Amino acid sequence: ETVLTQSPATLSLSPGERAMFSCRASQDINNYLAWYQQKPGQAPRLLIYDVSNRAAGIPPRFGGSGSGTDFTLTISSLEPEDFAVYYCQQRGSWPLTFGHGTRLEIK
């Protein structure tokens, strides 16, 4: 099973700042990595797929990068609605696995 390790566990930032989330895979996942956003009481929402492709309707302030085993989600300038939990997910091997999430909170 591919283990995804996300860091930091919590990120405290202010609106307008840049946010960077890390996801490290226990083995090469061939760039088959996605990012999701989850707000309290809601389902996760797909943001980024295959490392750097934005899903439909996702604003350009969300960007993804990385390769091999190390991946980053960047939010260029935080909006109030961006404060949530962010998960990475890999599809490079079975079973599908998710990271434990990074909580983005308002500083």
Give the residue with the Cβ less far from other proteins, 1 or 105. Answer: 1
**Coil vs helix vs strand at 13:** strand
Per CB under 8 A, 52 contacts other proteins: no
Per CB under 8 A, 54 contacts other proteins: no
Dihedral of CA 7/9/12/13: which sign? positive
Give the residue with the Cβ less far from other proteins, 18 or 100. Answer: 100
Task: List the one residue from 34, 51, 75, 104 that touches other proteins (CB under 8 A).
Answer: 34
Quick count: other Cβ atoms within 10 Å of Cβ 41?
Answer: 5
Quick count: other Cβ atoms within 10 Å of Cβ 54?
Answer: 17
- Looking at residues 86 to 105 of the shown chain, list those that interact with other proteins (rule: CB under 8 A): 87, 89-101
Per CB under 8 A, 42 contacts other proteins: yes
Candidates 11-19, 20-28, 43-51, 59-67 — which segment interacts with other proteins by CB under 8 A? 43-51
Burial tier of 105 (Cβ tally within 10 Å: 0-12, 13-18, 19+):
exposed
Q: Find how far residue 18's CA is from the centre of its chain.
A: 14
Residue 8: CB minimum distance to other proteins, A: 15
Give the residue with the Cβ less far from other proteins, 21 or 90. Answer: 90
Give dist(CA 4, CA 93) in Å, integer: 12
